[in-house]
Structure 1
Amino acid sequence: MSAAQRLAEARELLAEHPVVDGHNDLPWALRQQVRYDLARRDIAGDQSAHLHTDIPRLRAGGVGAQFWSVYVRSDYA
């Protein structure tokens, strides 16, 4: 099987069974970099110079969902 055939098969599988990303630091990166000013980090376009996540790369990678949880330090009263 050629590399192109394997890639096509992988894309078919991802179309039927999308990846659910259970760890993504996008909210933290947006907070740290631009204080949630999404006009400065429009993830609808390529943000590879600034972030690990943007919509084009999520789609290209077959990611169909994101899961975010909240981290709270354990030493808070």
Structure 2
Amino acid sequence: QVGGAMIEGQMQTDSWRTFSGFFEAAGATVFGFVVLAVVSSAVGYLLASWWWQRVVRRKRAKRLRSMEERLDKRLGAGRG
């Protein structure tokens, strides 16, 4: 148990060192990629949200116009 925990802890430390070394070697590039990923995903989310609201708004307006026309026909037919 103790030996396994030491090996596991050593593996985590080695993994962290490897990651840390990679970040030191290409720090600016990695940081730039992370910033680019965060910003582009946020912009994509906002654009998709805006576009989806637009699509739903147009469909709803069309549906409401259709319902209004059908109601007018029914009310007009009932009067005559």
Measured against the shorter chain, the TM-score band is under 0.3
Return the TM-score normalized by structure 2: 0.27
Specify the structure having the higher radius of gyration (Cα). Answer: 2
Return the TM-score normalized by structure 1: 0.27
Higher share of residues assigned helix: 2
